[in-house]
Structure 1
Amino acid sequence: MSLFDRQNFDLILEKWPGVSFVDQWDSHVAKVGGKVFAVLGERENWRLVVKCSEESFEILTQMHGVSQAPYFAKRKWISISDDAPLEPMEVEHYVRRSYELVACGLTKKVRTELGIRLS
C-alpha cells in the first residue's frame, strides 16, 4: 500500500496513537500531539516530507528522488518523491520513524494522555 495515496496515508497513519490530520500549506499534514511528523503534498509529483536521523539524512539524500525538505528547519527533514527507489515498506518505516522522533519530543504527560508508548 503506497503512502503517496491520500487514502492509504490516512488509513495507515490513523492507527497510530495520537495522530491527527489537517490540510495546510497546500498539503495533507499528519501530526502527533499537535506537532508535524509527515506532510503529503503534490507539486510536479507526489512527495512525502518526514523527519529522520542524521545518519538516515546523509544516506537518503544521496538517492535519486530524495532531498532536504524545503521550508523546514535545517537538516533532518527530507522530501521523498514518489519516484524514489524505495519500496512501500521502506517509506512506511521512515514515516513511522518520523512519528517516533517527533513523539519523543512531546512531554511524558502528553504521550501518556495520547496512549503513546515508545521503545
Structure 2
Amino acid sequence: MKGSSISPEDIARFCLALPGAREDYKWGGVRVFSIAGNKMFAVQGLRGDSLAFKVDKELFLGHVDRPGIGPAPYLARAHWIIMDTPYPLGREELHALIQRSHQLVVGKLPKRVQVGLLL
C-alpha cells in the first residue's frame, strides 16, 4: 500500500513523539529531527519536498533498489535513504523505519545518554 496519504506534518509529529526528539532548521530551511543535542535521525526538505533518514547498514542497498527511494545526498555513506512526497511507503512501514533510525542513532550514544531514549 502506498503511503501518499501521509503528510510531511504527520511525519514531523511522529518524529517529535519519539523519546528525546527535537527539531531544528538548518542549511537554509531544512527541517532536522535530532536527539542528544545534534545527532540527526531524520531530515525533511534536504532535496525539495523530501524525507531522509538512517537505515540499517545491511538493509541500505535493498532500500535504495525500491522505486521512489534513493541514497540521500551527502549522507548515503552513513546509510541514509531519501524519498520524495508522496512517500512510496505505507504509514506503518514508514513509522517503523523512522523509529529504527532513531534507535540506530541512540545506539551510538554513550550508555549514560541512552537511558530514557531507548524504546
Range into which the TM-score falls when normalised by the shorter chain: 0.7 to 0.9
Counterpart amino acid of residue 20 in structure 1: R
Query: How far did 1:79 drift?
Result: 0.6
User: How has the CA–CA distance of structure 1 residues 116 and 82 changed in structure 2, closer, same or farther, with 3 Å as cutoff?
Assistant: same
**Hey, what does 1:91 align to over in structure 2?**
94
Q: Does the CA-based 8 Å contact 1:20-1:31 persist in structure 2?
A: yes
Deviation at 1:43, TM superposition (A): 4.2
Deviations 1:13-57 (A, max 9, x none): 22211111001122111001120000011644x211111112321
- Residue in 2 that maps onto 1:47: 50
Percent identity for Structure 1 against Structure 2: 30
Which deviates further from its counterpart, 62-71 or 10-19? 10-19
Paired position in structure 2 for 1:16: 18
Moved over 3 A (4+): none
Which shows bigger deviation, 98-107 or 47-56?
47-56
TM-score, normalised via structure 2 length: 0.82
State the match for 1:37 in structure 2: 41
TM-score computed with the length of structure 1 as normaliser:
0.82
1 or 2 for the larger relative contact order (CA 8 Å, sep ≥6)? 2
Give the match for residue 64 of structure 2.
61
The total of aligned residue pairs comes to: 113
Give the alignment's Cα RMSD to 1 decimal. 1.9
Contact 1:65–1:83 (Cα < 8 Å) also in 2? no
